[in-house]
Amino acid sequence: MLKHRGIPSRLPGTDYQFTIRRPAKAGATPIVRRERFADRRAADRRADSGFLHALWSVYGETPFERGNLDAGRLSWLFGREVIPAEDPFDPASYDALLRIDVSAARRTFPDIFDGGSA
């Protein structure tokens, strides 16, 4: 399992996890698309923005391996701002390749791409 250098382990000052320490003995937790409703808490939206900002800062438009990125946090962005970079895509593999869909990410999180900070 690839350990991502440059990605913080969590959103500073919170318990919103961005990475995991070690692979699960039972295998990788599958990444699934989670619905984001308009009434989500502001802290949840900040965690999404902070995670996407970290991914963008490290990888930009380059595909990246899932590795030790938290499946739960990825699932909030999966299918919208973060999409599969390979076909077929295995959502339960630590080796799965992902990439940022820049146009979708710009629409949802414009502050990340317009010089703002997360």
What digits encode the pLDDT tens for the residues 74-105? 999 999 999 999 999 999 999 999 999 999 99
Q: In one letter, which amino acid is 33? A: R
pLDDT band at 118 (very low <50, low <70, confident <90, very high): very low
Question: Tens of pLDDT along 4-26?
Answer: 777 888 787 778 888 877 777 77
What is the DSSP annotation of 29-56?
A: PPP-PPP--TT--HHHHHHHHHHHHHHH
Provide the 10 A C-beta neighbour count for residue 82: 26
pLDDT at 116: 52
Question: Tens of pLDDT along 39-80?
Answer: 888 889 999 999 999 999 999 999 999 988 999 999 999 999
Go through the chain and tell me how many residues it has. 118
pLDDT band at 1 (very low <50, low <70, confident <90, very high): low
pLDDT at 91: 95
Name the E strands within 46-105. Answer: 64-65, 82-84, 97-100
pLDDT at 99: 97
**pTM (2 d.p.):** 0.86
pLDDT at 3 > cutoff 60 = yes
